[in-house]
């Protein structure tokens, strides 16, 4: 009877697992998220009497830092994050009660409930609790990605977005970045740190053999789902 019962449970779990909708792998697409709305200034009119137009990329005295839509800026990703959290809790409580009748009219033993001897009442309780918790997290991420200026907002605000795809054998790595930067924060070498990117969204993930090996097998996931302990 027990064998049939467990067999039915296992078969039902396998059937429910098979009926579960297969999860589709996320397909990297642009943009990563809904970009924030920026106020785009009006386009400047070309001056027919000038050799250098503001809409052209080449200037006589200006540097090559990104400032217009379509320009490229190098973003140096330098992310260091460390967090520590520790908590200790300790409580101790003891209580006791002792009530009794030693003698009743000269008798040391008063059989109140049968022959139990002296009617005594004793009770004691103790509660102790001690809890320790500690968490520590440390992240370090260093990379470089070229981003393109999508929009130019008022006050020199630039909306940027960049994607980097690297494939080695059967493993594909994706690096994506979006955010807002200020034109005055761009260095002379046309680069900027990721710590200066507002509303930054940085994603780094992979698809392939290495990523698949990091996941437990379907049997292990099934046992984790139905195992009650």
Residues 146 and 108 in one domain: no
From the centroid of its chain, how far is CA 170?
Answer: 27
What φ, ψ does residue 70 adopt, rounded to 5°? 95, -15
Structural domain containing residue 123: 87-133
Mark whether 183 and 103 lie in a shared domain: no
Domain boundary among the residues 133, 152, 169 is at 133
The answer to whether residue 2 scores a pLDDT higher than 60 is yes
Sheet holding 120-152, edge to edge: 191-193, 72-100, 120-152, 157-168, 171-182, 198-208
Neighbours of 73 (CB within 10 A): 22
Q: Whole-angstrom Cα distance, residue 192 to residue 182?
A: 10
Residue 212 class from Cβ within 10 Å (0-12 exposed, 13-18 middle, 19+ buried)? exposed
Kindly state whether residues 65 and 91 are assigned to the same domain.
Answer: no
pLDDT single digits (tens) 134-172: 888 888 889 999 999 999 988 889 999 999 888 888 788
What's the pLDDT score for residue 126?
73
The confidence score (pLDDT) of residue 22 equals 46
pLDDT at 113: 52
Has residue 7 been placed in a domain? no
Mean pLDDT, rounded, for 106-134: 63
Q: Is the residue at 220 inside a domain?
A: yes
Question: Average pLDDT, stretch 2-17?
Answer: 66
Q: Tell me, yes or no, whether 27 and 106 share the same domain.
A: no
Residues 150 and 217 occupy one common structural domain:
yes
How much is the mean pLDDT over the chain? 74
Is 103 in the same domain as 144?
no
Residue 34 dihedral angles phi and psi, to the nearest 5°? -65, 115
* pLDDT at 114 (0 to 100): 52
Is 14 part of any domain?
no
Residue 94 lies in a domain: yes
78-82, 94-98, 103-107: the lowest-pLDDT one: 103-107
Task: Give the end of a domain, one of 133, 153, 170.
Answer: 133
Q: Has residue 2 been placed in a domain?
A: no
Q: Looking at the structure, do residues 107 and 78 belong to the same domain, yes or no?
A: no
In the chain, how many H helices and how many E strands?
Answer: 3, 6
Structural domains counted in the chain: 2
- Residues 126, 150 within the same domain: no
| 142 and 195 both lie in a single domain | yes
The answer as to whether 1 is a domain residue is no
Q: Which of 133, 166, 192 corresponds to the end of one domain?
A: 133
121 plus 164 within the same structural domain: no
Pair (67, 172) in one structural domain = yes
Instruction: Read off the pLDDT of residues 39-87 as tens digits, 9 standing for 90 and up.
Output: 555 666 666 666 666 555 555 566 778 888 889 999 999 988 888 888 8
Does a structural domain hold residue 174? Answer: yes
Cα–Cα dist 177/147, whole Å: 8
Asked whether residue 4 is domain-assigned, the answer is no
Shared domain check, 192 and 109: no
């Amino acid at each position: 009877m027990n064998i049939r019962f467990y067999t039915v449970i296992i078969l039902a779990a396998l059937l429910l697992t098979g009926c579960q909708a297969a999860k589709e792998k996320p397909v990297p697409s642009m943009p990563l998220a809904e970009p924030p709305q920026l106020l785009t200034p009006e386009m400047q009119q070309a001056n027919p009497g000038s050799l250098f137009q503001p809409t052209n990329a080449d200037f006589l005295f200006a540097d090559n830092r990104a400032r217009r839509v379509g320009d490229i800026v190098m973003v140096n990703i330098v992310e260091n994050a460390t967090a520590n959290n520790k908590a200790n809790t300790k409580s101790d409580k003891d209580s006791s009660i002792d009530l009794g009748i030693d003698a009743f009219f000269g008798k040391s033993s008063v059989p109140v409930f049968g022959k139990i001897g002296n009617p005594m009442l004793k009770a004691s309780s103790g509660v102790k609790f001690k809890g320790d918790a500690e968490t520590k997290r440390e992240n370090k991420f260093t990379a470089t990605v070229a981003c393109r200026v999508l929009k130019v907002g008022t006050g020199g605000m630039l909306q940027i977005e960049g994607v980097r795809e690297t494939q080695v054998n059967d493993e594909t790595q994706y690096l994506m970045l979006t955010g807002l930067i200020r034109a005055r924060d761009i260095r002379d070498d046309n680069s900027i740190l990721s710590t200066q990117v507002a509303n930054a969204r940085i994603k780094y993930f992979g698809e392939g053999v290495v990523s698949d090996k990091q996941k437990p097998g379907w049997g292990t996931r099934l046992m984790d789902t139905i195992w009650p302990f």
